Structure 1
């Protein structure tokens, strides 16, 4: 079994923890990120005993190859983006719940998305142990094989009881999706310079109140590099500190432009659109204007959310956005301005949000999401037309739930063509499997194919 120790005592070629240290909040030293993905946690001083959940409570029990499938599943977690901080980690059980502390006892619970839960379910690697995000002087340790969050005492016994190895998972994942571990939604998938880039909304927040965006990249849509936070509404955007939704990135003028939705946590909470710029598709991005690109109420009707940019073969780019009402406008060459008089309303029947436009073989495709993202009936429909602004001919629903494999609410998608081919993929979010909802969503990618007449064949969403 491949292993790496939090303290760096044993390092594996596939699961390696760097020993470099950074400061979080100027208080305690934190180790560099743990490897994301499925893993099990073995006690250093009790080899063969692993962190597992039993009747929701977390404990340390023996696990062997002869153990039951349920035991192995209970002893397998996915290391994901920290619910309270991307600099730390959360541990998601196979049933979709998260390891958290409550009254200092470690247990698993469903993510409610509020600030207290997110903090209670976030842990930071420090000195070979896992320290609480919101109580940094407390660390996970085992006492009589039960797991507790105890105040750190600098003794050999405490250090031994709070040290764990990250090992290969007892119950390896057998599915391709989700493509990145953790809770991410509204994925914008694109390709730059022969490499795929994925820009999602960071999910798992009550009221979708996340504040930052991450970027991931891949050469094969399977193995992904996490480029970290590329834009954070808190320090990076003066007019928004909340509701970091639905990023979309376009390339022009030798630069990269990230379009995003944002709102304020207090005062005027209406959503607005912004644009940030970077010299690299991996960021970091900076607010290009210092003010919204599309202001709340600037165009009456609907919400100013879910921006998307399509660039035609002639180099002209078009901005699309809206919830309730779909709008489109040609962008100026600077990519950060447009003529308000040219804004058009292009709302198709059934439209709710998440406009996406692409072109194939001279035909333009307008796609969107129907119903509410909290509904299992959230889905994707589309239309075709002769130009980037239509007129549009409805073609029907192309992606919807698949209850036989537990897929609910697939939508808010994007489409990418494999460079130099006629092979296409669709990225979308769905309720996190097995038992989550419209604020705990995960990102999936599946092939998208066409009929001879250019219509899209129904997409089969996969686990």
Structure 2
């Protein structure tokens, strides 16, 4: 066993589930983040890609180190399994049972082909990877090439299909993204002295994701994955997909998750819901069993992208809308409101993703301009002396940075470090380097104010 493998086995594989040889893989916990995979029976050979084809090779050159470094991420087809993203942004997947790299198309076939469920390997500290959509097949090497082969109950097959997860040959050095994998529309907030991040699970064609996860941190750098907190399939009776743009607020000793949802077939119009939990890490349950805001309730715009602002007097306001921006005071139960009090407050340039904060008595309404599929997706803002407006437009504060390959910066939220005047902005962007409007990642950067209270342009960073 190499020193790299010894490091991995001593730190990364506590709590793996033992499975019988030849059986379908069962859930073993892998650490997310950048890793390399070493062959068990050919120590010193690592999984890498060569001209898009996956194989195991010795590693020596700088390029080989890059080719042998993968980010272990949330499974594209299942949050209980895993996907492996290469440094070029593509994903390890099988096609005709051959392992290779391809760009995520977001359709169900690709997501299944690129998702692998982990089990214990042939020796302590090693793993085996079963195909999500062919659970009786495992990733194994044959003549140094990687294939998806039927499970065989032999010592040779078990060794050929076992790998050690090690520290990466080319570890991630950039600050962003803050979460490994594809996540968009991040809502960043604080509860009980801890930061919580609630994003849309991305990587689906047509943004057809079905569930939400929660992450928490004490430093905005190291994040704990709390798993799925609400799944439209079993948890929401009136929606089964389009799990978009969650936002969480607290009141009455409980936590309220506001979300967008739609149906995969039939009426595809989006609606807003609210779920409730006793913990910011969930699990959440649908509070009403019906939408909070229906698709036909108000004329114009689309009922998506909810955000809640709670003022210093304790009053909470719900903002939402694509094409049209609306606001209404919430009742104290946080799950109802008076429809007669709904106001339209659409500022010039507004498309979607409203967010409101308050600083030194000034209210800031922020939103996203252009389409999320455009590299020109960006954040602008306006100010007011009231959470209901009227609003004075102040211009764009976050936009693309092409010199670093950063595109599509938008759908943000802002958090204040408790007890300070330090602020951070969370937002999504096209995944760097191979992302697009459905393959997005979450970033966090500083948000700073000028002495007159205006917001300085945010500098997006890698």
Please report the TM-score for the alignment, with normalisation by the length of structure 1: 0.96
* 1:252 equivalent in structure 2: 251
Alignment partners' CA distance in 1, 2:320 and 2:120? 47
Q: Mapping of 1:260-275 within 5 angstroms?
A: 260-275=259-274
* 2:102 equivalent in structure 1: 109
Query: Residue 13 of structure 2 contacts residue 29 of structure 2 at CA under 8 Å; is this kept in 1?
Result: no
* 2:17 equivalent in structure 1: 20
- Residue among 8, 11, 28 paired with 2:9: 11
SS of match in other structure, 1:170? coil
Are 1:45 and 2:41 counterparts? yes
* 1:201 equivalent in structure 2: 200
How far residue 127 of structure 1 moved from its aligned partner, in angstroms, is: 3.4
Q: Mapping of 1:216-227 within 5 angstroms?
A: 216-227=215-226
SS of match in other structure, 2:449? coil
Corresponding residue pairs, total: 452
Are 1:442 and 2:438 counterparts? no
Q: Mapping of 1:274-289 within 5 angstroms?
A: 274-289=273-288
Query: Residue 246 of structure 1 contacts residue 307 of structure 1 at CA under 8 Å; is this kept in 2?
Result: yes
- Residue among 88, 92, 107 paired with 1:99: 92
Alignment partners' CA distance in 1, 2:18 and 2:315? 46
Query: Residue 326 of structure 1 contacts residue 345 of structure 1 at CA under 8 Å; is this kept in 2?
Result: yes
CA deviation map 1:294-333 (0-9, x unaligned): 0011001010000000000000000000000000000000
Query: Residue 18 of structure 1 contacts residue 31 of structure 1 at CA under 8 Å; is this kept in 2?
Result: no
Q: Give structure 1 stretches of 5+ with no counterpart.
A: none
Alignment partners' CA distance in 1, 2:76 and 2:329? 37
Alignment partners' CA distance in 1, 2:193 and 2:237? 34
SS of match in other structure, 1:31? coil
Are 1:299 and 2:298 counterparts? yes
Alignment partners' CA distance in 1, 2:62 and 2:428? 29
SS of match in other structure, 1:118? helix
Alignment partners' CA distance in 2, 1:132 and 1:48? 25
How far residue 4 of structure 1 moved from its aligned partner, in angstroms, is: 6.9
SS of match in other structure, 1:298? coil
Alignment partners' CA distance in 2, 1:17 and 1:238? 37
How far residue 21 of structure 1 moved from its aligned partner, in angstroms, is: 6.3
Q: Mapping of 1:55-204 within 5 angstroms?
A: 55-63=51-59, 67-128=60-121, 129-204=128-203
SS of match in other structure, 1:12? helix
Alignment partners' CA distance in 2, 1:16 and 1:420? 38
Query: Residue 35 of structure 2 contacts residue 165 of structure 2 at CA under 8 Å; is this kept in 1?
Result: yes
Q: After alignment, is 122-131 or 335-344 more displaced?
A: 122-131
Are 1:351 and 2:350 counterparts? yes
Alignment partners' CA distance in 2, 1:21 and 1:91? 22
Q: Give structure 2 stretches of 5+ with no counterpart.
A: 122-127
Query: Residue 4 of structure 1 contacts residue 165 of structure 1 at CA under 8 Å; is this kept in 2?
Result: no
How far residue 30 of structure 1 moved from its aligned partner, in angstroms, is: 1.3
Alignment partners' CA distance in 2, 1:249 and 1:20? 34
SS of match in other structure, 1:16? coil
Are 1:308 and 2:301 counterparts? no
Alignment partners' CA distance in 1, 2:10 and 2:187? 33
CA deviation map 1:33-77 (0-9, x unaligned): 2000000000000000000000000001001xxx22111000000
The alpha-carbon distance between structure 1 residues 21 and 327, as it changes in their structure 2 partners (threshold 3 A), is farther
Alignment partners' CA distance in 2, 1:183 and 1:153? 34
Alignment partners' CA distance in 2, 1:216 and 1:251? 16
How far residue 11 of structure 1 moved from its aligned partner, in angstroms, is: 2.5
Query: Residue 17 of structure 2 contacts residue 119 of structure 2 at CA under 8 Å; is this kept in 1?
Result: no
* 1:339 equivalent in structure 2: 338
The alpha-carbon distance between structure 1 residues 4 and 261, as it changes in their structure 2 partners (threshold 3 A), is farther
How far residue 17 of structure 1 moved from its aligned partner, in angstroms, is: 4.4
Query: Residue 17 of structure 1 contacts residue 35 of structure 1 at CA under 8 Å; is this kept in 2?
Result: no
* 1:317 equivalent in structure 2: 316
* RMSD across aligned positions (CA): 1.4
The alpha-carbon distance between structure 1 residues 318 and 109, as it changes in their structure 2 partners (threshold 3 A), is same
Query: Residue 9 of structure 2 contacts residue 164 of structure 2 at CA under 8 Å; is this kept in 1?
Result: no
Query: Residue 17 of structure 1 contacts residue 32 of structure 1 at CA under 8 Å; is this kept in 2?
Result: no
Please report the TM-score for the alignment, with normalisation by the length of structure 2: 0.96
Q: Mapping of 1:365-444 within 5 angstroms?
A: 365-444=364-443
- Residue among 24, 30, 35 paired with 2:26: 30
CA deviation map 1:370-411 (0-9, x unaligned): 000000000000000001111100000000000000100000
